[in-house]
Amino acid sequence: MSEPRKAKLFITCLVDFLFPGVGQAMVKVLRHYGVELEFPEGQSCCGQPAFNAGFRREAREVALRFLEVFEDSEVVVSPSGSCVAMVKEYYPELFSGDEELEPRFRSLAGRTWEFSQYLTEVLGVEEFPGRRQGSLTWHDCCHSLRGLGVREGPRKLLCSIEGAELRELQDSEECCGFGGLFSVKFDEISSRMLEKKLACVEKTGAESLVATDCSCLMHMAGGLEKNGSGIRTLHLAEVLADALEESGEGPSGEAIS
Is the per-residue pLDDT at 251 higher than 70?
A: no
**Contact (Cβ atoms closer than 8 angstroms) between residue 165 and residue 136:** yes
Mean pLDDT, residues 185-214 taken together: 95
Residue 185, pLDDT score = 84
Strands (E), 71-218: 76-78, 112-114, 131-138, 162-167, 208-211
Domain ranges of the chain: 6-121, 127-247
Residue 2, pLDDT score = 53
Mean pLDDT, residues 119-123 taken together: 96
Is the per-residue pLDDT at 167 higher than 70?
A: yes
Tell me which architecture the domain covering 127-247 has in CATH. Answer: 3-Layer(aba) Sandwich (3.40)
Distances (CA, A) of 251 to 31, 32, 35, 64: 5, 5, 10, 34
pLDDT above 90 covers a percentage of the chain that reads: 89
- Top CATH class, 6-121: alpha beta
6-121 and 127-247: identical CATH topology: yes
Residue 51, pLDDT score = 94
Could you tell me which residues are beta bridge partners of residue 166?
Answer: 136
